[in-house]
Chain A
Amino acid sequence: MSLKEELFARLRGAVLSGDPEEVVKLCKRVVEVGIDPLEAIEKALVAAILELGDKWIRGEAFIADLVAAADAMKAGMTILKEEVVKKGKTVKYLGRAIIGTVEGDIHDIGKSIVATLWEAAGLEVIDLGVDVSPQKFIEAIRQYNPDIVGMSALMTTTMLKQKETIEAIRQAGLRDKVKIVIGGAPTTEEWAREIGADGWAPDAISAVELVKKLLGVK
């Protein structure tokens, strides 16, 4: 096994076991020995998270493992991305997404799981957190220029904010620049249609399929 192969194998193992310190250490080593950082991202970091994501979808892994792995992957990404930029290249993602729980709603978990799975599927995800106002969504669209905007609401009361936020995005003239997807326990497909969202997902797995479809990838 070459040094590269050995490092990639260890890196995949460290991502799978959710060990950010080890991932950081190995990524630094990758940079030191002059291995192509883009290749390391693709063949080690992303490969590991995709493997675990597939396992989870088959019911063979736990969400806690996936979340820990995504964290470890992100820790490594920071280092390798820096190196990619230094070399004047860019990291290739399936697309870029921003995601947040709408204003008035402070529930984190559904949104965070979706964000993790999107990352695991190869998207660049910017998590805006909870209680995100329409204005903050608009600012984030301007700042990050995402392909996908995800909005979560757990409560029937805050579901209304999804409508309000989409309306605000429309008024800001940004509606055609993004695909908007919504989710959350009280939401339905009819609701998504009514408020003019581009898609709705009943659970986290469907949320991955949904954005892939919207981005035109398999």
Chain B
Amino acid sequence: MIRPRLEVLSKDEIEEIHVRSLSVLSRVGVEIFHDGALKLLRDIGAEVDFNKKIAKIPEHLVNEALKKTPHTVRLYYRDGKKYLELKPGGDTYFATGSTGIYYMDWRTNEVRIFTTRDAVELAKVIDALPNTHIFGTVYLSDVPELFSDKWFDYIALKRCTKPFENEAREVEELRDRVKLYAVIVGEENIGKKPITYFAACPSPPLKWSAVTVYANLMEAAKYGLPVEIIPMPQTGATAPATIAGAVLQGNAEFLSGLVIAQFTRPGTPILLNPSPVAFDQRYGTACIGSIEVGLMSAAFAQLARFYGVPSGAWITVSDSKVVDIQSGIETALGTLIAVLSGINIAIGAGMFRSETTISLTKLVIDDDIAGVALRFGKGILVDVETLAEKLIEEVGPGGLFLKYKHTREWWIKEHYIPKLLDKTSVEMWKRKGAKDLVTVAREQVEKILREHVVEPLPPDIEKELDKTMLEIAKKYGIEKLPPLPQV
């Protein structure tokens, strides 16, 4: 049985991109706005100019770093038992889009800044959905700015059992935040059973900001937490207009991050999770639902396989401003490309208006799209039983397959049953209220929020988590934790 696979680069082309990435790193280098990272690179033999903040990284450092990089990364659920296994060319999992700053209220379609209450709703729906596996970080505006990332930790840990993505918002040590994870999985398991991973986005072209390289890359690596390196080339703006050039530049950025991470702590789990965008020269917009994003993501996934690291991509986000046909088309194409390219984390569920807004209505639709694509990705099982020659003979010309055991056994195995996509007859559809997909999706959100129960943390752990969180909150002038709303 073969799994359907999509390849957009030949073996030679991958090698060419690799070799030229090394050339860019050693000749042009990367600009890093953090002396600690520059010192680290100098100490291991890179050519560093501290005035210009440029580090030129020779090929042998990249090769050494690649040798230290694990091929498989596991992301754990809150219980420390269940996990997602990410390996090159392996299964695809789905993450909600990050980092949303706006939330579309599913009741009114009003778009507003993200609040704690919205994040709690989002957590509950993610927890309930079968094909949404990771809680992408959001940006909360109802708590103090520099406290918001820790507050997101707290919401994700309390109100969702699934792994979550993370981002540090200030140049700081992660010591306090790691305490939160220790409460859940135990001190010894912070890096061994990671329940979260950190987002490190270089600023193209070839630049690293201090908060990214220090807090999200080096600090996370220090604790053995996985780091997703996120090259974000914008075709024709912050990267070459050509797909190959944009991928090459992004790959060089990825490799520079990989070197910093592996020489900070050998064995740091790394994900190549690009967020390439098509820069629209007409409007000056960074478009993430464009088909070229699919091409670039597929190319990055092939590079990830070449390096033996898991990969992800911001590939299921839409540029549409409403939940409509465009949002469905862009997300569906990206989702299918992700599965066919063997991308391990398809990122963007529920996200639209480019990388800004989360809608629960879109999220439940996207979950159904993910189910459809995952089914396609499984391919066709061909053996004596599935070929069913005997059965065809038994039923004979003009017969019906309905009553046979083979049918009852295999139909359910061979088909994905969509939750929301309508497969009824016109008459049934009319009787059920003649609703379109968006209406059905909104009702599904309401149903999940009404019926789903997120498994609570064991009381002693919850108490400990609250206590640890309060200690952090006090540093930001919050003397009492606001209770999380019931949604």
> A interface vs B, CB < 8 Å?
56, 59, 62-65, 104-109, 113, 131, 155-157, 159-160, 185-186, 188, 203-204
Contact = CB atoms under 8 A, between A and B. Distances in A.
Contacts of B237: 63, 109
The secondary-structure label for the interface of chain B is loop
Given A156-B101, A157-B211, A186-B139, A64 B236 contact: yes
Interface of B: 33, 99, 101, 113, 139, 145-146, 148, 169-170, 203, 207, 209-211, 234, 236-238, 241, 279, 281-285, 356
A113 to B, nearest CB: 5
B373 to A, nearest CB: 29
Contacts of B279: 63
Contact of A59 (B170, B203, B282, B356): B282
Nearest to B99: A156
B290 to A, nearest CB: 15
A106 B356 CA distance: 20
A156 B207 contact: no
A104 B34 CA distance: 11
B33 A131 contact: yes
Given A156-B145, A186-B101, A106 B33 contact: yes
A156 B234 contact: no
A105 B238 contact: no
A41 to B, nearest CB: 26
A188 B113 contact: yes
Contacts of B207: 106
29 contacts: A59-B282, A62-B282, A63-B279, A63-B282, A63-B284, A64-B236, A64-B281, A65-B281, A104-B209, A104-B210, A104-B211, A106-B33, A106-B203, A106-B209, A107-B203, A109-B234, A109-B237, A113-B284, A131-B33, A155-B211, A156-B101, A156-B145, A157-B146, A185-B101, A185-B356, A186-B139, A188-B113, A203-B283, A204-B284
Nearest to B215: A157
Contacts of B285: 203
Contacts, number: 54
Given A106-B209, A109-B238, A131-B33, A157 B145 contact: yes
Contacts of A204: 284
A156 B209 CA distance: 14
Contacts of A64: 236, 241, 281
A203 to B, nearest CB: 7
Contacts of B139: 156, 186
A203 B356 CA distance: 14
A59 B280 CA distance: 11
B170 A157 contact: yes
Given A131-B33, A156-B99, 15 more contacts: A59-B282, A59-B283, A62-B281, A62-B282, A104-B209, A106-B203, A106-B209, A156-B169, A157-B211, A159-B145, A160-B145, A160-B146, A188-B113, A203-B285, A204-B284
B270 to A, nearest CB: 23
Contacts of A131: 33
A20 B436 CA distance: 55
Contacts of A185: 101, 356
B11 to A, nearest CB: 33
B101 to A, nearest CB: 6
Contacts of A188: 113
Contacts of B209: 104-106, 155
Contacts of B146: 157, 160
Nearest to B236: A64
A188 to B, nearest CB: 7
Given A109-B234, A109-B237, A156-B169, A63 B281 contact: yes
A203 B211 contact: no
What 10 A-B pairs are tightest by C-beta distance, nearest first? Answer: A62-B281, A157-B169, A63-B281, A59-B282, A204-B284, A156-B139, A63-B284, A113-B284, A106-B209, A106-B203
B51 to A, nearest CB: 15
